[in-house]
Structure 1
Amino acid sequence: MNRSSFLKKSGLAFGLAFTPSIATSNSISNLINLKDKLKPKIVKNDQGDILNVIGDIQMHKISGSDTNNQIAEWVNDVAPGVGIPPHVHTLEDEIFRVIKGKVELMVDGETTILEAGDIALAPKNIVHSWRIIGEENASMCTSAFPAGIEVMFKELGALPPGPPNFEKVAEICGRYGISFL
């Protein structure tokens, strides 16, 4: 049998062998159903829900309600010295993409300086923290998947202004699977 015949016959056999299982596969059905539920969304640079989360000014662009709880994404604008102490997420992974400024990021005990264009992944169950360094505000686009953390940020954003009550912050975060070290 020549190569062309073999590829045609084996491709057809492979396709026929797996077509019934693919057609009835839950994962394919879930993808089709998900596509039907999700609606396109365009969010301009100056659009989003603004939250002041203990000094971290966040503009939420995409939430779980937009993505069937797959992902949430926000952009922040943070002054030098502001940061989040070492903590662990048990429910979501996070991706940090620096848009401007300098961010000192610690993930799993390794600290690095991120600048515009740099990206870092902080998987769930891994200790991480960040702090804005330098002389200018920094901005990051953060994605969390699955979604849900944005609900916690709304609760934190509703706390009274002024120095945060760390016990209250830790209690709220704990309800969303986040603990501080």
Structure 2
Amino acid sequence: MNRNVFLKRSALSAAALASLPAFAHFSSKDEKDGKPLDPKIVRKGEGKQVNVIGDQQTFKLTSEDTNGLFTLIEEVNPPGTMIPPHVHTNEDEIFKVLEGELEVTVGDETTILKAGDLAFAPKNVPHTWKVVGDQDCKTILSVFPAGLELMFEELGKLPPGPPDFAKISEICGRYGISFLA
């Protein structure tokens, strides 16, 4: 390409970018309170581990890491582990299975997810999941926006033994989550 054509195309591209609205800011350094996001590498086995009423979670990225944009959690659970039907009013969730099998119901659809499959559970849509099959299930849970890990931490601090469903419902309710009968 000759120099004049290159300069003309570059000028047109710059003009097009300049015409984008102010909200169209694309950067990996989104700022909150003037602080740019820091890059982070999380290795296998790293992260905060929490037992959330039998759901074994490892927080990989939290609201603190992403300025509240999203939370990323690894779950590794044996067959039979499940969460009853519930609805979020604040968050969308994505479940991506890495190993094992996870039966999920989102809205009126129930299916079994296997390695590589995922399910999207938008806010205000009932959903539930249960580990099925004969091996542990490793799942990546993505939560948008972030903050649900605070509820998971609170639930993880409940005393061991049979769950106190009234206390669990109270905690979850403060985060906009309700269980279905």
- Specify the TM-score bucket, using the shorter chain as the normaliser: 0.7 to 0.9
Query: Is the aligned partner of 1:47 residue 2:46?
Result: yes
Give the structure 1 partner of residue 139 of structure 2. 140
SS of aligned partner of 1:44: coil
1:66-105 per-residue CA deviation (whole Å, 9 max, x = no partner) reads 0000010111111111101111111110010111111100
Q: Kindly report structure 1 stretches of 4+ aligned residues shifted beyond 6 Å.
A: none
Normalized per residue, the structure richer in helix is 1
SS of aligned partner of 1:164: coil
Query: Aligned partner of 2:84: which letter?
Result: P
Question: Aligned pair in 2 of structure 1 residues 38, 165: CA closer, same or farther (>3 Å)?
Answer: same
SS of aligned partner of 2:30: helix
In 1, Cα distance between equivalents of 2:79 and 2:157: 23
Query: Aligned partner of 2:160: which letter?
Result: P
Listed as ranges, the matches of 1:79-98 within 5 Å are 79-98=78-97
Give the structure 2 partner of residue 175 of structure 1. 174
Listed as ranges, the matches of 1:1-181 within 5 Å are 12=12, 16=15, 19=18, 22=20, 25-28=22-25, 31=27, 34=30, 37-181=36-180
**How large is the Cα RMSD of the aligned pairs?**
2.2
Percent identity over the alignment is: 49
Query: Aligned partner of 2:95: which letter?
Result: F
User: Alpha-carbon deviation of 1:134?
Assistant: 1.3
SS of aligned partner of 2:40: coil
1:118-139 per-residue CA deviation (whole Å, 9 max, x = no partner) reads 1111111111000011122111
Aligned residues: 170
Query: Aligned partner of 1:34: which letter?
Result: D
User: Alpha-carbon deviation of 1:26?
Assistant: 3.9
SS of aligned partner of 1:126: coil
Query: Aligned partner of 1:91: which letter?
Result: N
Question: Aligned pair in 2 of structure 1 residues 156, 37: CA closer, same or farther (>3 Å)?
Answer: same
SS of aligned partner of 2:39: coil
Q: Is the 8 A contact 2:28 2:37 kept in 1?
A: no
Structure 2: gaps (5+ residues): none
User: Alpha-carbon deviation of 1:16?
Assistant: 4.4
TM-score by length of 1: 0.86
